[in-house]
Amino acid sequence: MNAQELLQEISDYCRQAGLAESTFGRRAVNDGKLTARLRNGGRITTETLDRIRAFIHARRATAGLPQAAIIDPMNSASRTPTIAPKRPHTSGAPVTSPAGTDEDPQRNFRFFDNRQKYLLFVNTCSEKWVVANRVSLELANIHPRPPAVRVFDAGVGDGSVLTRVMRSMHDRFPHQPFYVAGKEISLEDVRLCLQKMADRFFEHAGTVLVLTNMNYADAPWLAVKSVNAASSLVWHELALTGTTSHQFEEQIMGLESFLSENWKAGVSPKTGNPVYERPVVLVIYRADHKFLLEPIIPHPGGTQANYDLVIASQPFRLRSSLEFKSKRVLAPLARALGPGGRMIAIHSHGHDPGMEIVTKVWPEENPFGHDRHALLKATKAELGPLGRDLNFNAYADNRSLFRYDMHTLPTEISASIGTSTLFAAWNAAVYVAQIEDARLEKVITETKYLEATAEVLQKHGGLWFYDESFVISRRRE
- Interface residues with ligand SAM (CB under 6 A)? 110, 113, 118, 127-128, 155, 157, 161, 313-314, 317, 348, 432, 434
Minimum distance, C-beta of residue 128 to ligand SAM, in the bound complex (Å): 6
Between 267 and 432, CB nearer to ligand SAM:
432
Minimum distance, C-beta of residue 368 to ligand SAM, in the bound complex (Å): 9
Minimum distance, C-beta of residue 145 to ligand SAM, in the bound complex (Å): 26
How many other C-beta atoms can be found within 10 angstroms of the C-beta atom of residue 309?
A: 25
Minimum distance, C-beta of residue 130 to ligand SAM, in the bound complex (Å): 10
Q: CA-CA distance, 327 to 223, in Å (whole number)?
A: 18
Q: CA-CA distance, 209 to 200, in Å (whole number)?
A: 10
Minimum distance, C-beta of residue 416 to ligand SAM, in the bound complex (Å): 28
CA atoms within 13 A on the CB side of 88: 1
Minimum distance, C-beta of residue 114 to ligand SAM, in the bound complex (Å): 9
> Closest residue (Cβ) to ligand SAM?
157
Between 16 and 434, CB nearer to ligand SAM:
434
Q: What is the chain's percent helix, strand, coil content, to nearest 5? A: 45, 15, 35
Minimum distance, C-beta of residue 437 to ligand SAM, in the bound complex (Å): 12
Q: CA-CA distance, 98 to 56, in Å (whole number)?
A: 17
Q: CA-CA distance, 153 to 197, in Å (whole number)?
A: 14
Q: CA-CA distance, 433 to 358, in Å (whole number)?
A: 8
Choose among 188, 264, 183: nearest CA to 218.
183
The residues facing 34 across adjacent strands are none
Helix residue spans in 64-180 (DSSP H): 109-112, 115-124, 127-137, 160-172
Between 125 and 293, CB nearer to ligand SAM:
125
Q: CA-CA distance, 428 to 440, in Å (whole number)?
A: 13
Between 25 and 266, CB nearer to ligand SAM:
266
Helix (H/G/I), strand (E/B), else coil: 337: strand
